[in-house]
A and B are shown apart, each in its own frame.
Chain A
Amino acid sequence: MAIDEVVLLDFWSSPFGLRARITLAEKGIKYEYKEEDLRNKSSLLLEMNPVHKKIPVLIHNGKSICESLNIVQYIDEVWNDRSPLLPSDPYQRAQARFWADYVFPAQKKLAFATKEEKESAEKEFLDALKLLEEQLGDKDYFGGDKFDFVDIAFAPYYSFFKIYEIVGNFKMEEEFPKICAWAKRCMQKESVSMSLPDSQKVLGFFMEMRKNFLGTE
């Protein structure tokens, strides 16, 4: 049997890349991780994702798969003998795909909001998270008893919770207790805890990026 060659082109703090990393870990797939310098993209990246030139890119036996949720679904379909990540019922699958996509344009707006934009960006973000908190309800995971597709889509943003609190003006635990409990539950999973970068490191990196972008603290 031929050995699978799996390579992931990624950037250490990218939540999109993290979705791929968590998925590979969930399935126990061995792969080569290649860190991209996004200010100096490799010729491999440009060749494997000529349309968007973005990470993550999964390269499986020489063929490239782009867009994080595409990668998650692809991995689930190829390595379908273990840890299914999507439910088997078509309606549940549709719901999972719908919610995975919902996560999370609002957070980008908040993260980079100028003083003028801040109020409306914060409101939009809080509304989005309220919806997710409702969606989670009293379940252990978005997938119910199982950690699956929507959980994977959203778990990487745990590294950003502190950033939301600083940029916005609220406490995640107070506003969204269920999501915070869910996040802690996810961190108990090896596939998540071993994949997520240190949140202090992410905070430092992000605040620097934000300072450069906005020209302010």
Chain B
Amino acid sequence: MGSKDVKVLNFWVSPFGKRVEWALKLKGVEYEYIEEDISNKSNLLLELNPVYKKVPVLVHGNKAIAESFVILEYIDETWKQYPLMPHDPYERAHARFWATSAQQKLGKEGSWTALIKSGEEKEKALNTASEVLEKLEEEIKGKKFFGGDNIGYLDIALGWISYIIPIWEEVGSIQIIDRLKFPAINEWMTNFLNHPVVKDSLPPRDKALDYYHLSVKKHTPN
């Protein structure tokens, strides 16, 4: 499949879109990258994702697929090389569960809330994050990646942790992941960031820091 056939609509700093790119790169699928200015959405985006009007969107021939986890499974089912999902149904259910639960509890309710709130709400959010991290630490112990020796679906789904959380920690001057309390996660983060497909794919750190500084300001009540 040539690069004209596959397109990815994304926003440079979006962790949701990065998942799609990592999956395609791992499978060696060429694609055309289309940058969206999400503050000024293009007609193309509105046409391709009329329901949510969000990135990422994967375009494959004349088909458009939205929602990053839906896209990941589509990619895995369409291009069979380098399988991302586990084979066993229980492991698959387990991976799907952690993909969405980590995004909700560690991401939104935990880290992001800790970033934009203060006092008791901040503490509660940090605890929520910590509870999830405890479970993830158990999951990753003894393995290089959640997928085993190689990166799999869950690594891609959780990959945002390795580069977004450190950025948020700096923006908010908070510690979300205690590196001593969660050594296995810490090691996984390093391994993930060093993977050839991930290493050169990340947004420029200083640009990302600026972006999130601004974003936090917008969301913090004055």
**Chain A residues with a Cβ under 8 A of chain B:** 50-52, 60, 63, 65-67, 70-71, 73-74, 77-78, 90-91, 93-94, 97-98, 101-102, 131
Q: Which residue of B lies closest to A88 (CB)?
A: B77
A52 to B105 Cα, complex, angstroms: 9
Give the interface SS of chain B, mostly helix, strand, loop or mixed. Answer: helix
Contact of B101 with A by CB under 8 A? yes
Is A102 a contact of B93 with CB atoms below 8 Å?
Answer: no
Is A67 a contact of B100 with CB atoms below 8 Å?
Answer: yes
Is B71 a contact of A94 with CB atoms below 8 Å?
Answer: yes
Is A131 a contact of B51 with CB atoms below 8 Å?
Answer: yes
Contact of B217 with A by CB under 8 A? no
8 Å CB contact of A91 from B65, B69, B101: B65
Contact of B199 with A by CB under 8 A? no
Is B93 a contact of A93 with CB atoms below 8 Å?
Answer: no
Is A93 a contact of B74 with CB atoms below 8 Å?
Answer: yes
Q: How many residue pairs between the two chains, A and B, have CB atoms under 8 Å in the bound complex?
A: 60
Is B77 a contact of A90 with CB atoms below 8 Å?
Answer: yes
Chain A min CB distance to B61 (Å): 9
Contact of B70 with A by CB under 8 A? yes
Q: Which residue of B lies closest to A102 (CB)?
A: B51
Report chain B residues within 8 Å CB of A67: 96-97, 100-101
Contact of B181 with A by CB under 8 A? no
Contact of B218 with A by CB under 8 A? no
Is B132 a contact of A98 with CB atoms below 8 Å?
Answer: no
Counting chain B CB atoms within 10 Å of each CB, the highest count among A91, A94, A101, A131 belongs to A94
Sample of 18 more A-B contacts, CB < 8 Å, known A65-B97, A73-B93, A101-B70: A63-B90, A65-B93, A67-B96, A67-B101, A70-B93, A74-B89, A74-B93, A77-B92, A90-B74, A93-B73, A93-B74, A93-B77, A94-B65, A94-B74, A98-B65, A98-B66, A98-B67, A102-B51
Report chain A residues within 8 Å CB of B94: 65
A51 to B100 Cα, complex, angstroms: 12
